[in-house]
Amino acid sequence: MQKRILIVDDEPAIRDMVAFALRKEDYAPVQAGDAAQARAAIAERLPDLILLDWMLPGTSGLELARRWRRDELTRDIPIIMLTARGEENDRVGGLEAGVDDYVVKPFSARELLARIRAVLRRSREDEADGSVRVGRLRIDGVAQRVFGQPVDGTGAAPAGAIAEMPLGLGPTEYRLLHFFMTHADRVYTRGQLLDHVWGGSVYVEERTVDVHIRRLRKALEPVGVDAMVQTVRGSGYRFSATA
């Protein structure tokens, strides 16, 4: 699955240049010109990395970085700051706000791509324990537990509700969900799911997949994310990161 990278910059020419370079390297760029557009893009689907301009209209990139680091949903998303501010105090300020790296304008596409690869590599190493987050679902790979963020009927977290609640999944449903969350937005046949989740050397009837899909959806119902597991008629199943 392509890594989704959010470009937050108020200069369309810079956004287009960066997006072009990202597409050439098989990344999936998403563009935002200000804080409001960035929030909308994140609400649609969490990016794997954010390229954030310091000087934005209204809310500065520095303040956005601070907000995202305080928000449980976005605090673990890597951020690279793009800015013309190259002084040491500015770099320190950005790092203290929680950004992972700092690229000074003007920069070359080659340098930026190298920084992106390095930050994503560090992020993967941090999550080598199998932890993963998609939307309002989070898997703690060390504890092998699943947590979900409940919402009310409007799509907002209900007043007084806990930020996350543990979800009860059996071992097979856990493995199935982990595979789905790390391979979102792709359709898999029942046979492919058997190979990836159960293992090719284990004989299990394909209809067994349907039983565990039903159990998985039931387990996800308490936080209203059971619709993320979608049936694709005539093909199989897909886990939608935006449902």
Residue by residue, pLDDT tens for the chain (243 residues) are: 678 999 999 999 999 999 999 999 999 999 999 999 999 999 888 899 999 998 888 888 889 988 998 887 888 788 898 887 655 566 666 666 778 778 888 888 988 998 888 778 766 655 567 888 888 899 998 888 999 988 765 455 544 445 789 999 888 889 899 999 988 888 899 988 888 887 654 556 788 889 899 999 999 999 999 999 999 999 999 999 877
Last residue of some domain: 103, 126, 149?
Answer: 126
Last residue of some domain: 126, 156, 176?
Answer: 126
Claim to verify: residue 69 and residue 12 sit in the same structural domain: yes
Claim to verify: residue 106 and residue 164 sit in the same structural domain: no
Claim to verify: residue 53 and residue 24 sit in the same structural domain: yes
Claim to verify: residue 31 and residue 90 sit in the same structural domain: yes
10 Å CB burial of residue 89 (0-12, 13-18, 19+) is: exposed
Q: What is the pTM of this model?
A: 0.53
The CATH number of residue 11's host domain is: 3.40.50.2300
Claim to verify: residue 63 and residue 122 sit in the same structural domain: yes
Torsion 169-73-141-163 (CA) sign: negative
Claim to verify: residue 195 and residue 115 sit in the same structural domain: no
Q: What is the largest CA-CA distance in the chain?
A: 63
d(C-alpha 63, C-alpha 132), whole Å: 26
Last residue of some domain: 126, 155, 189?
Answer: 126
Q: Which residue has the tokens 């369309």?
A: 12
Sheet holding 49-53, edge to edge: 28-32, 4-8, 49-53, 79-83, 101-104
Domain of 172?
132-239
Cα of first residue to Cα of last residue in the chain, in angstroms, is: 17
Candidates 108, 96, 9; CA nearest to 60 is: 9
Number of independent structural domains in the chain: 2
Claim to verify: residue 138 and residue 163 sit in the same structural domain: yes
